[in-house]
Structure 1
Amino acid sequence: MHILVMGAGVVGVTTAWFLQKQGHRVTVVDRQNQSGLETSYANGGQISVSHAEPWANPSAPLKVMKWLFQPDAPLLYRPRLDPYQWRWALSFLTQCTSAKAAHNIRQMVNLGTYSRSQLQALRQEEGLEYDQLDRGILHFYTNPTEFDGALGPAQIMRDLGCDRQVIDADRAVELEPALKPIRHRIAGATYTSEDESGDARKFTQALAKRCEEAGVEFLYGTEILDFDRASDRIMGLRTLREGHHETLRADSYVLSLGSFSAILARRLGLFLNIYPAKGYSITVPVRNEEAAFNVSLTDDEYKLVYSRLGDRMRIAGTAELNGYGRDLNHTRCRAIVRRVAEIMPEAGRWDEAEFWTGLRPATPSNVPYIGKSHFSNLYLNTGHGTLGWTHSCGSAAALADIVAGRKPEVDFTFSGL
């Protein structure tokens, strides 16, 4: 079967890989001139099963209200005259109960654990190199209230098989000596030894190369405009490439366009409750090896993640719900630099930080859309939010099973829109 995958980010490329492994002929379409140039380009770099607590939880509404007029807030909501933004926000509030948060944690831990094992097998099979480190992820808390609030979700994750251990400040500094300057401020921490880190863009582009060697065709510089459809079937994609209009045809189609999936799906009358959560990152050269971290870190109070990428450090996070614009907000950029320089002042050349922003495709529950749509030959693999790379291999492997008519190996509620 010929399958056309829309999107060449980490989710689209892993989808192409697992589909071609099943013997399908695969074409990937993307508007950029190579893979991994949008949300996969400079993200946080974590394979973080332990980062499964959704934004929508019982403490979220009060925090969002407190942060509403704080320009450097970890989660910034800027109301717009956009019905899709308001619909997303109202749905977010309905997910903020203890029962729904626990359900969503289960979904994300199950998918994350499965996906991490798929990634590890793929890496070993293909010999991929992407500045990966398998030294675990350490969540640290400088606010006692935030630490206390993390204990319940951490217990749920342990019950589901994610070994997120609660540790004290001394053990945190033992695992990561770079935290020593703030040892006296650490209220507590958790550590998940099986989690990993690495450069998502390098991974995506290395895997895209393997895909091409296996026969996958990539059509870069191609903008998707609309669909040709007949009843419940997609008959083709209307595209624009180098000024020429062309209709691309295949037997089946997979929508993996991140935040833009929702816009294109509306052309079919298909509603996906995905809204862009603009995230920021800084990439900084290491200045002092002894002061720099090697264990991947998560600063939950400030919603930041830290990954070591060779001689670089990547710190990413925060979320801005403010439409599809990707202009850099320098107040938010400086807030990241300020926080990290405060924690480990000697680690990096902070004045040389490279700033970047990307649009995470967030659902209100943080649970992605994976599965078959109500169109007989259209599949969904999108809406992964902050966990696109963490969930990419697992969602791609599961979708390949669904396309083949098999039940996926992971315990997850798949979409059937």
Structure 2
Amino acid sequence: MEICVVGAGIVGLSSAWFLHRAGHRVTVVDQAPGPGMGAVAGNGAQLSYSYVQPLADPSLLPGIPKLLLDRSGPLRFTPQWSPEQWRWCMEFLAACRTSVSRQTTVELLALATESRLALEAFMQAQPLDCDFTRTGKLVLYPDAEGLDKAQNQLRFQAGLGSRQQVVSASEAVAIEPALAGYQSAFHGAIHTDSECAVDGLKLCREMARIMAGEGVRLLFDRKVEGFQRRGGRITALNLRHAQEGAEVLHSEAVVLAAGAYSTGLLAQLGSRLPVYPLKGYSITLPITEHTRAPTVSITDMRRKTVFARIGDRLRVAGMVELCGMDASIPAARIEQLQASTEALFGDGWNTDDCQPWSGWRPATPTGRPVLERLAGNLYVNTGHGALGMTLAFGSAQRLVRLVEHAAG
């Protein structure tokens, strides 16, 4: 079958890869000039297969007012005249229930396990340059109360097969000596020795290279401006090339895997997608002999910031802003990430070349991605939030099963 995948991020490219391997003729379309230039380009670089606590969790609610009142805090809400923004917020608050959080955890862990196996099989079959590491992760908690709440989630996940352990601050420093200067700032940590990290942009470029070599069409600099339909089915996409103008791409099926842009594309077809863009920021710092860089991935819950080593660089990412599709990068946000890096790992970092970045995590209120077939021949694979890179390969395999089931 001729299938068009809209989106060349990690979710779109994974979808294209498994559809191609299933025997379909696949075309990937993206408005960017190359692969992986959306949310995956500057994300936190962590593959969190075992630590998947949903964003919508009842333990989060008491702290929301304090976070919103802190002008320099990691959470920021910019009210807009947008029914979708307010509707998403109400649905998110409604999802902050223990029953919903636990069901989401069950589903995400199962999908993460499937995704881990699929990515590892892919990497074993293909020589890749993507700075993949398996050095584990430490999630740091500033006080006993936060660590106790985390242990409740740990015990629940243990019953689902996750292997993690609680460690003291001194034990965390023994695991990651680069934290020695920060030991007094956190009470303890959750250690998961099996977690991984990867440069998502490099991975996307490698996947695009491999697929192009196997005959998958990759069309960049092309914006989807509309859909042609007949009898409830999409027959073609109306594209606009950045230089060459209008184009028409015929297809027997369409997969929307365009991250935060999927919502607007689906709206053109008269349907709503419960996905909202949660804006985040990152910097990428060179590691030199003058810096004390971690090897283990770190998530600091005090600062709501993640740190991951990718090759000879340190990726630092954080913040959650509900402000629509605002692409600006305020200097204050970048300065916060720089300050967090120095707080945890000391000074000596070259911040003149920090590669400031912002992007949108396409999030559902519950944290569960949207993977479904809509009317006719339209499929949706998006809404992975901060776990897009973690869940992409498993979601892609499930998409193939969905397409094959629909085909009979």
TM-score (norm 1): 0.94
3-state DSSP of counterpart to 2:201: helix
CA distance in 1: counterparts of 2:73 and 2:172, whole angstroms: 26
Distance in 2, matches of 1:354 and 1:145, equals 35
Q: Equivalents in 1 of 2:324, 2:13: separation in Å?
A: 26
- CA distance in 2 between counterparts of 1:266 and 1:356 reads 28
Gaps of 5+ in 2: none
Count matched residues. 406
Q: 1:146 Cα shift?
A: 2.0
Distance 1:51 1:79, change over 3 A: farther
SS across alignment from 1:404: helix
Equivalent residue, structure 2, for 1:142: 142
Quick one: distance in 2 between partners of 1:51 and 1:279? 19
Structure 1 contact 239–246 (Cα < 8 Å) conserved: yes
- Kept in 2, the 8 Å contact 1:292–1:348? The answer is no
Secondary structure of 2:357's match? strand
2:206 aligns with 206
Once residues 49 and 301 of structure 2 are traced to their aligned partners in structure 1, the CA distance between those partners, rounded to angstroms, is 15
The residue type equivalent to 1:244 in the other structure is G
Give 1:137's aligned amino acid.
K
Closer, same or farther in 2 for the Cα pair 1:58/1:124, shift >3 Å?
same
Q: Distance in 2 between matches of 1:214 and 1:339?
A: 43
Paired position in structure 1 for 2:327: 326
Q: Could you tell me how far apart the structure 2 residues matched to 1:298 and 1:113 are?
A: 21
| Matched letter for residue 235 of structure 2 | M
CA contact (8 A) 2:291 2:349 kept: no
Runs of 5+ unmatched residues, structure 1? 407-417
AA aligned opposite 1:370: L
Structure 2 equivalent of residue 127 of structure 1: 127
SS of residue matched to 2:307: strand
Q: Aligned in 2, Cα 1:332/1:146: closer, same or farther, shift over 3 Å?
A: farther
1:301 counterpart letter in structure 2: R
TM-align CA RMSD: 1.6
Comparing 315-324 and 147-156, the one that deviates more: 147-156
Aligned to 1:232: 232
Q: 1:59 to 1:329 in 2, by over 3 A?
A: farther
Q: CA deviation at 1:231?
A: 3.4
Aligned to 2:318: 317
Distance in 2 between the 1:288 and 1:75 partners? 34
Q: Give the aligned partner of residue 47 of structure 1.
A: 47
Tell me how far apart the structure 2 counterparts of residues 337 and 157 of structure 1 sit (CA, whole Å).
33
Where 1:40 maps in the other structure, the secondary structure is helix
Q: 1:3-402 counterparts in 2 under 5 A?
A: 3-241=3-241, 242-288=243-289, 291-346=292-347, 348-373=349-374, 375-402=375-402
Q: In the aligned structure 2, how far is the partner of 1:343 from the partner of 1:402?
A: 45
Asked whether the 8 Å contact 1:71–1:332 carries over to 2, the reply is: no
Please, which moves more after superposition, 329-338 or 261-270?
329-338
**Deviation by residue 1:288-325 (Cα, 9 ceiling, x = unmatched):** 37721011111123221111011110011111110101
Q: Counterparts of 1:226 and 1:321 in 2: how far apart (Å)?
A: 27
C-alpha contact 1:10 1:40 (8 A) present in aligned 2: yes
Q: Give deviations 1:329-362, integer Å, cap 9, x for gaps.
A: 2222211211221111146324542211001101
CA distance in 2, matches of 1:187, 1:347: 26
| Structure 1 Cα separation of the partners of residues 348 and 179 of structure 2 | 11
Residue matched to 1:409: none
8 Å Cα contact 1:46/1:296 also seen in 2: yes
Report if the CA contact (8 A) 1:113-1:162 is conserved. no
Q: Is the 8 A contact 1:341 1:350 kept in 2?
A: no
1:404 to partner: Cα distance: 1.5
- 3-state SS in 1 of match to 2:302: helix
User: For residues 278 and 377 of structure 1, what CA distance do their matches in structure 2 show?
Assistant: 31
Preserved contact between residue 76 and residue 322 of structure 2 (Cα < 8 Å): yes
Change (3 A) 1:347 1:298: farther
* Contact 1:285–1:311 under 8 Å retained in 2: yes
Partner SS, residue 251 of structure 2: coil
Letter paired with 1:326: A
Cα distance in 2 between the residues matched to 1:111 and 1:259: 21
1:381-400 per-residue CA deviation (whole Å, 9 max, x = no partner) reads: 11111011000111011111
1:33-76 Cα deviation digits (max 9, x unpaired):
11011111111101112331111111223322222232322221
Deviations 1:87-110 (A, max 9, x none): 000000001111111111111111
DSSP 3-state at the match of 2:42? coil
Query: Quick one: distance in 2 between partners of 1:288 and 1:270?
Result: 53
Q: Which shifted more, 70-79 or 105-114? A: 70-79
What residue number does 1:414 align with?
none
Structure 2 letter corresponding to 1:56? A
Aligned 8 A contact 1:287 1:346 in 2: no
After superposition, what is the alpha-carbon deviation per residue over 1:251-286, rounded to whole angstroms, capped at 9, x for unaligned? 111000100101110111211111110110011111
TM-score (normalised: structure 2):
0.96
Distance 2:303 2:232 in 1: 45
Measured in 2, the distance between the counterparts of 1:121 and 1:138 equals 26
Are the equivalent residues in 2 in contact too, given 1:292–1:347 (CA < 8 A)? no
